[in-house]
Amino acid sequence: MSNQIRKVLDKSFSAAAYCALVVMSLTVVVFLTPIIVNGIGAIVFKATVEHEKFLMENLDREYSEKVLQRIAEANAAREPLYKMMRDYERGDSAAYKKRLDNGISRALAHIESGSDKIFALLNETSAEARVRMAAEFSRLAWFEYLTELDLAAKEARASGNSMALAKVLQAQEDEISEAAKAALNELGEKKKLTFSQKSMLRRAFTHGVFEELKAKEGELHDDDDAYIAVKHGIEELLGPATQGDKEKYKLMRQKYGQTRMSLAEDVLKNSILTISITRANAEGAEVSQRIDSLKFFKNTPVEKMLLYVEDNIDAMLRPHWTIYWGFFTDNPYDSSIFGGIWPMILGTFYLTAGAMIMAAPLGIIAAIYFAEYAKEGKIVGILRMCVGTLAGVPSIVFGLFGLTFLINTLHVSDNKSVLAGAITLALLILPTIIRSCEEAVKAVPNSYREAAAGLGAGKWRGICSVILPSALPSMLTGIIISMGRAAGETAPIIFTAATSTGAALAVWEIFSQPTPALPWNIYNICSEHEMADKVQHVQYGMVLTLITIVLALNFAAIVIRARMQKKLKS
C-alpha cells in the first residue's frame, strides 16, 4: 500500500470518528435542550394569583401583604365581569311568555275559522299534497305565532335573553302540542274526518309548525350552550366566582383558576375565544363543533364579556415570575395539576436505596466468589450462564416475576409494596453488579495477591485487606451506574410497587404500601392522565428530575472513581 493511500485512510478514519462525535453531541443537545428548558419551566414560571391562593389555602404558606394586596386587586378587576354575567343570566321571561301565549290563542282561533282550505287538501292523498298542506297550515293557522316567535328570538339575542326565551319555549312546547291536539281533534270531529285524514292533519302540524318551533328553540339553545361553554371557560380561567360556587365543587381544579399564565392564555384561546358546542347536523346526529365565540356572539352582551376578558386577563390574574421550589417538596394535588412531585422523588429514593441495600452486598460477595474462590467447573459454568441470562431478561419479565412470585406466592406484602419493588429491582441489577464487581476484582494485579499471601495473609484476610480496597473504585463505579439504572427502571415496578397517586410514605410503610415513583409516574402522567396537556410542565419537571438524578449518580461514579484512583496511585 502506498504512503498516499495510508494517509488518506488515516484521515478518513479520523473524519468518521469526528462525524460520529458531532452526531452524538447534537443528539444530546437536541434531546436534552427541550427537557432542560421545559423542566426548569416547572419551577420557574409566570404564576397567577390563583397559584398563590392555592398555596395559601392548601399548603399553609405565609404570604406577604404584597401578595394579599395583589389578590385583592385581581378580585376587584374581576368584579365588572361577574356583574355582566349576573345581568346576562338574570334575563326576564315574563314578557315573552305573555306574548307567545297570546300567539298561541290567536293561532288556535285561526285554525277554527280557516280550516276549510286545509280540509280541501286533506282529500288529496299524495305526498306532495301533504307538503303543501303543511305549508298552508303554518301560513294560515300558525303564521302569527311563528312571526311572534321570530321577533321574540331576535329581541332576546340582542338583549342577551336567549336563555330566558328558550326556557319559555321549552315550557310551551308541551302546551302548544296539547292545545293543537285538542284543536285538531275538535276540527276532525266537526268535519267528520276519517282516521287517516286525522292522522294526516296531525302530521301536517308536526311538519309545518312544530319543526320550526323546535329549530328556533335549538337556535336559542345554541346560544345558551355557547354561553355556558364560555362561562365554563371563564371559571376554568379564574376559578369559581363566589365562595359558594367554590364549595359546590369537589375537585381541586374546579376550585381554582389557572395557576400558570401560559395555561391561562391557552384557556383564553381554546375555551373562551373559541368554544365547542354540540349541534344537530343535517342527519339529526349530534356533533361537536368548534366555533369562534366572538363571531357567534356578535352584537350581544356576551361579546362585551369576551372582550373584557381578553383585554383584562392580566389585571384579573396578575401574572408575575416566580420560583416554586415546592415543586420538589410538595405533595401533588388533584392528579398533579397542583403541587409538586415529592412523593415520586421519595418513592424513587426508597426503591433505589432498597434495591441497592439488597443487591450491592450480594453482588459483591458473588463477584468475589466467582473471581477468587470458584474453580472453573460445570456448576460454576452453569452459575455464570445463569447470571448472563439473567442480565439479558427483559425488565418487564422481572416485573411479572415480582408480581407472581414475590407478591402472589411468597406474600412479601398483601399488595404492591416498596419492598416487593425493591426486591425486583435488586434482582434486575444483580447480574450487572456481579459482572462489574467481578471485573473489578479480576483487574486487581495478581502481584497484590502474591504479596499478601507472601506476608502470611490467608485468602480471606488478603481479600479483605488488599483486594477489596483496591477493587473498590471500579466496584463503586459499577454499583453506582446500576443504581442509576434502578432509579430509572419502569417496567419492574409497574406490577410490584408503583401507584399513580399517593402520598409520601413514612419509612415503616415501605413494607406494605405502594408508592409513586418518578419513572412510572412519568409514563402515567404523559399517557394515562385525563388532562395530559395541562400537566406538561409536571411531565417535563419529572423527566428533568429523573435525568438529573441519574446523571448525578453517573457523575458521582466518575468523581469517586477518579478520586479513589488518585488516592491509590499517589
Partner 1 sequence: MENQTLIMNRQTSAVKFKDHIPSDPNNIDTVVSASDFSVYYGKFHAVKNVNMSFERGKVTAIIGPSGCGKSTFLRCINRMNDLVDSCRTTGLIALDGVNIYHPRLDVVELRRRVGMVFQRPNPFPKSIFDNVAYGPRLKGVHGRKELDEIVENSLRRAALWDEVKDRLHSNALGLSGGQQQRLCIARALAIKPEVLLMDEPCSALDPKSTSRIEDLIAELSSEYTIAIVTHNMQQAARVSDFTAFFYEGNLIEFGETKLLFTNPKCEATNDYITGRFG
Give contact residues for partner 1 (rule: CB under 8 A): 375, 445, 447-458, 461, 465-466, 469-470, 567-570
Q: How far is the CB of 260 from partner 1 (least distance, A)?
A: 55
The C-alpha torsion from 243 through 245 and 251 to 257, rounded to 10°, is: -70
**Cβ closest to partner 1, residue 46 vs residue 449:** 449
Minimum Å distance from CB 450 to partner 1? 6
547 beta partners: none
- For residue 458, the minimal CB distance to partner 1 (Å) is 6
Q: How far apart are CA 3 and CA 107, in angstroms?
A: 109
| C-beta closer to partner 1: residue 175 or 450 | 450
Q: What is the dihedral of CA 388, 394, 397, 399, to 10 degrees?
A: 100
Give the Cα separation of 524 and 518 in Å (integer).
10
Residue with cell 463505579: 477
Residues 278 and 225: beta-carbon distance below 8 Å: yes
- For the CB of residue 328, give the shortest distance to partner 1 in the complex, in Å: 40
**Min. distance of Cβ 9 from partner 1 in angstroms?**
38
Answer for the pair 326, 243: CB distance below 8 angstroms, yes or no: no
Q: How far is the CB of 379 from partner 1 (least distance, A)?
A: 16
Q: Within a 10 A sphere around the Cβ of 115, how many other Cβ atoms? A: 22
Cβ 384 to partner 1, closest distance in Å?
17
Q: Cα 1 to chain center, whole Å?
A: 64
For residues 43, 45, 47, 51, the Cα torsion angle rounded to the nearest 10 degrees is -20
- 520 and 399 in contact (C-beta within 8 Å)? no
Q: Nearer Cβ to partner 1, position 192 or 567?
A: 567
Least distance in angstroms from the C-beta of 366 to partner 1: 20
Pick the closer one to partner 1 by CB: 66 or 567: 567
* C-alpha to C-alpha distance for 467 and 463, rounded to whole angstroms: 5
What are residue 411's phi and psi, to 5 degrees?
Answer: 55, 50
Rounded Cα distance between 415 and 406, Å, is 10
Dihedral angle of Cα 366, 371, 373, 379, to the nearest 10 degrees: 70
Minimal distance, residue 378 CB to partner 1, in Å: 16
* Residue whose CB is less far from partner 1, 328 or 448: 448
Min CB(463)–partner 1 separation in Å = 13
Tell me the backbone φ, ψ of residue 518, rounded to 5 degrees: -50, -55
Cβ nearer to partner 1, comparing 179 with 457? 457
Specify the residue, 107 or 466, whose C-beta has the smaller distance to partner 1.
Answer: 466
Q: What 3-state DSSP class applies to 278?
A: strand
3 state DSSP class of 44: strand
Residue that has been written with the C-alpha cell 360556587 in this structure: 245
Q: How far apart, in Å, are the Cα atoms of 112 and each of 116, 190, 254?
A: 9, 10, 55
Choice between 117 and 449, CB closer to partner 1: 449
Q: Three-state DSSP class for 527?
A: helix
CB-nearer residue toward partner 1: 293 or 470: 470
Least distance in angstroms from the C-beta of 562 to partner 1: 15
Nearer to partner 1, 313 or 440 (CB): 440
* Nearest to partner 1 of 34, 454 (CB atom): 454
DSSP, residue by residue, 132-180: HHHHHHIIIIIHHHHHHHHHHHHHHHHHT-HHHHHHHHHHHHHHHHHHH
Report in angstroms how near the CB of residue 459 gets to partner 1 at its nearest. 9
Q: Would you say 166 or 475 has its CB closer to partner 1? A: 475
CA dihedral of residues 121, 125, 128, 132 (deg, nearest 10): 20
Q: Minimum CB separation from partner 1 for residue 474, in Å?
A: 13
Bridge partners, 44 (sequence order): 323
Q: How far apart are CA 52 and CA 70, in angstroms?
A: 10
Closer Cβ to partner 1, 9 or 451, answer by number: 451
Q: DSSP letters of 486-512? A: HHH--HHHHTTTB-SS-PPPPGGGGGT
Rg (CA), the chain: 38
